[in-house]
Amino acid sequence: MKRTGRAAPRRSTGARKSAKAARAATAKRAGTLGENTGDCKNIEKWTLLSGSAAPTGHTAVWVPNKTYDRVAAAFLKDHRTAAEKKSLRERRASFSLEMKCDGTCDGGWCAPLIISDDGSVKVWVCDCEYFV
């Protein structure tokens, strides 16, 4: 006779977790054709520049205040001089940004691929590339 209600013994959380894991494992499906199976991503390398003018080989660009504040906060955590900290807080410091496409792909490699080119503006994305 099966006990129900308050008299029924409780299952342990370990049994519930293992049952959930078993269901989750069977719910996974194999990747479909054309699906990105890699983990390609752009890796940012920010550098604090000493001068306010853009150095040779760099172009000055504008970034949103939220992005600037995030980068400046990371540099403020480092040991900086009082003048550098002041310029970072006042949003007058210059940064250099280098982007590198890196990661792994199943059967390919990560590469910057151009997805739009209208002459004056080019849009790049870091994605898997394969031999065709």
Q: Which residue has the higher pLDDT, 97 or 57?
A: 97
Within 8 A by CB and 6+ apart from 58, the residues are 96
Within 8 A by CB and 6+ apart from 91, the residues are 65, 68, 69, 72
Confidence bin at 67 (pLDDT 50/70/90): very high
pTM, entire model: 0.56
Q: Which residue has the higher pLDDT, 110 or 15?
A: 110
Domain boundaries, the chain: 41-129
Single out the residue of 88, 49, 52 nearest to residue 71, CA to CA.
88
H or E segment and range at residue 43:
strand 41-49
Q: Which residue has the higher pLDDT, 38 or 7?
A: 38
**DSSP 8-class letter at 52:** S
